Structure 1
Amino acid sequence: MKLGIVSLIVSLVALGVIVWHWLWPQTSGDVYFVRMPIIMEKYQGAIDASVQLRRRQESVQSNIDSIISSIGASGQDVNAPNQRAQIENYIRAIEKRDEEERATLSKQLISHVRTAVESISDGKNVGIVLAVTDENMLLYNGVATDITEDVLRELKKNYRNEMRR
């Protein structure tokens, strides 16, 4: 009996909340989205960061190849346990530093995108801005507005200003 009363009270409260939201809908702003693959493809700052990372990876691979060659040229066995351990430790250290650098560049890019979004959303009724990384994740686009090109223009403008400094 006591459980039935509790269930009835919970049901009435839930019904009241539903009716409240139906009669007085909450407007929290418009929904916008930014297509991040387009930003990564067209924003010079992202392109430059990608080139920088690729050059660094090529340099690291060259260093690893050089170390292996010098060990082999000195007559030492590259597959000897101590040589292999040194090479693996070097590779792990480089990979860790590379991962940290990627994280830093990613944070910087997101910060730049966030700043651009804040700049273009000034004066608009923005409720939420989504960063879409996969087109398949955008299931329905009935009320959302694509602001990718606006963000890209703002990023390009800011990037040119940064380069002038």
Structure 2
Amino acid sequence: MNNFKVEKKALFRFVGFKTKLEGASFIHSDEFSDQKTEFFKSVVQSGKMASLQPISESKNGYAVVKSDGKNTFYYAGVLTSQPVKADTEEVLFKEGDYLVLSGKGGLSRLAFDRLEDQAFNEILNKEFPYELHGEAIVEILLNGNPLDSEVELWVPVKAK
């Protein structure tokens, strides 16, 4: 399992379209997979994702999973410092440590699901010197190919 590391990230800002995920209230649940896929596809197919490209400051594809303790939300969007566009919301990520997991090959949704399972079911355990610190995680499609993906998952953590 050499596909993860903890690294410091500077403050960054995400802007995207949002939907509420049904099922669990925790940030990670297997119940969310199909809902995430359908929402992201709908944002792309409707042209909404393309409408964010002029303000995007990265060529990568981004999604965010965020919990407020009662509900979990999924966002499709971009990293930007530009003003929020109509019907979008921003999610601010503080400077700090992030558990960064990498995966390659196959469908992007399956790759993200595997990395989330690894982070929450295997790595963030009693022996690991870090714990979850925050209410949002970031999914990044690095190569632009959701059918043969290269992905990263960023999970905010703090030292125990």
Question: TM-score, length-normalised on structure 2?
Answer: 0.23
Which has a greater percent of strand? Answer: 2
Task: Mark the structure with the bigger radius of gyration.
Answer: 1
Which has a greater percent of helix? Answer: 1
